[in-house]
Structure 1
């Protein structure tokens, strides 16, 4: 590859690093072209998946101000540049790796912070964003309901006390009127 081509590739990779919310480094050795195409299709919409040269990737990461991935750039490497939901991409890679064990996650970046393969597994085990938001909304609704009950309780008790006093006054008035008649 000529020098200008390398510079263009480094610039393109640096822009991918800058515009991605997460980056997942994998080793793809042993995957067929058909399997790589299947993997790319399964990630489309949330991430792009590209085979990269380690030396050019190191230069691009340095150019983009990314640190903490150099140690993972050994052997054949491919990178998933995440633009959508990182949890969905993590689940997609995990599920693909279950059926194709030769795909291994080396590590990567999430919100600019390096993560290991073990941390990637934890990310893949998270529930989807929608499920987490639904659980949060449910918890907030329950908290609001508890607050309403807490604020309504004194009013309810006051109403019961007033009603009991009214009944007692009425009973007292009924007893005194019957005594007056007799």
Structure 2
């Protein structure tokens, strides 16, 4: 890489770290091309990007942004997974690491904080953003349904009383 390419790489990494809320740092060794291709396909499925990085240039691009040990973890063959959905991105990385011995999740940079491996795994165990949205929507709809049911209860009772009175009158005649 010449100077211009290095400067462009640093600029691109800074842009990605500003665009996406999470950057998951991974290490990989001994993986086949087909397994990495499979991982990249899964990453694209959650709307994320996976980039193999030059450690020295990655340290320069994250300098000043991640002081809590994130920069120190750039050793060996590293790659970064940038994603819009923190839970989905962490889940893809953790699941792939569980399936492949040569792939390890090291840590993550999430909204200005550095998460260790345990925190990344905890993040991955949360429901996805779509599931959380659907759960919230079902709660809101259930509350609205119950509210309408409570509003209709007095009129329902009145109808039942009137119907019972009608039946009583019908028996008398």
TM-score (norm 1): 0.74
Give the corresponding residue for 1:2. Answer: 2
Instruction: Give how far 1:6 is off.
Output: 2.1
Q: Which residue of 2 aligns with 1:145?
A: 145
> Which structure is larger by alpha-carbon Rg, 1 or 2?
1
Q: Is the Cα–Cα contact under 8 Å of residues 63 and 71 in structure 2 kept in the other structure?
A: no
CA-based RMSD: 2.9
In structure 1, how many angstroms separate the alpha carbons of the residues matched to 2:147 and 2:113?
39
Q: How many residues align?
A: 166
Query: Where in structure 2 are there 5+ consecutive unaligned residues?
Result: none
State how far apart, in whole Å, the 2-side matches of 1:152 and 1:42 are: 49
Any idea what the Cα deviations from partners look like across 1:55-81, whole Å, max 9, x if unmatched? 211111137x44442232233211111
The residue correspondences of 1:15-164 to structure 2 (distance < 5 A) are: 15-45=15-45, 46-62=47-63, 65-68=65-68, 69-83=70-84, 85-156=85-156, 159=158
SS of the residue corresponding to residue 144 of structure 1 reads helix
> For structure 1, which segment, 107-116 or 14-23, has the greater mean C-alpha deviation from structure 2 after superposition?
107-116
Segment of structure 1 superposing worse, 18-27 or 108-117: 108-117
Asked if the contact 1:31–1:102 (Cα under 8 Å) also holds between the matched residues in 2, the reply is: yes
User: What is the distance in 1 between the residues matched to 2:18 and 2:66?
Assistant: 8
Q: CA deviation at 1:87?
A: 2.5
**Any gaps of 5 or more consecutive residues in structure 1?**
175-182
* 1:17/1:66 contact within 8 Å kept: no
Runs (4 or more) in structure 1 with deviation over 6 Å come to none
Work out whether residues 66 and 114 of structure 2, in 8 Å CA contact, stay in contact via their aligned partners in 1: no
Q: TM-score, normalised by structure 2?
A: 0.77
